[in-house]
Amino acid sequence: MAIKKTTISYDAPIYSVKGTKAGTITLPEKVFGLKWNADLVHEVVTSMRTNKRAGTAHTKDRSEVSGGGKKPWKQKGTGQARHGSNRSPIWVGGGITHGPRNDKIYDKKINKKARVKALFTVLSKQYASGAVLFVDDLALSAIKTKDAVAILSTFAKIESFERIGGGKRPTTLIVVPELTDVVVKSFANLVGTAVTTAAELNPLMLSTVRHLVLVDPSALIPVLENKMK
């Protein structure tokens, strides 16, 4: 029996804050139509996590710990193992071997094209799996967590977004053209939700996201496309 290949439509519906369809948008395949590349995504995400490492952990080696340079006891005749210094790593209070050092550089270079392609690859997978919701506007006029909760509750009625905004960590990422106090502070108290801009969007942010909400896609998508330039 021949296996039918599922084709992905790049004409995506745009919803209003009331949960009704407000139009459609044609998505660029170079952003939402890439094949999954696990090796590339893993390399970029791992490198980004490494670059965020503070590198403040520090242990002292045997040249830095306190202690005398005097031989603890004579070489022979005591019946004990021979030792040359109480600063040896095998002594309690001695130096640490191969411990973390704050002078070690953990930064890894990430090529721009690889980083952007990894971002588009993750976006493509999330879109293909139905995890991306396009919204025309959040329509928040004042800083109110109550209004933000109402918006997410409305979106939860849309198919495949029933669990939007839930969780003990950010699993829903809302992408807006511009960060404003009204949007940021309205969603600030919702633990399962985070807010960012299209310019700041990266593969690391999307690595743990279950739902992605793109607000005003006609303004966001050109920003994403310009990342390759």
Which sign does the torsion angle of CA 65, 70, 76, 79 carry? negative
Instruction: Give the end-to-end CA distance of the chain in Å, rounded to a whole number.
Output: 45
Query: How would residue 1 be classed by pLDDT, with cut points 50, 70 and 90?
Result: very low
Residue 82 structure tokens: 């021979």
Above pLDDT 70, what percent of the chain? 97
| Res 106 pLDDT > 80 | yes
| Res 35 pLDDT > 90 | yes
Domains assigned to the chain? 11-53+109-228 (3.40.1370.10), 57-105 (no CATH)
pTM: 0.83
Q: What angle do CA 30, 32, 38 make, to 5 degrees?
A: 95
Give pLDDT tens digits for 135-178.
Answer: 999 999 999 999 999 999 999 999 999 999 988 889 999 999 99
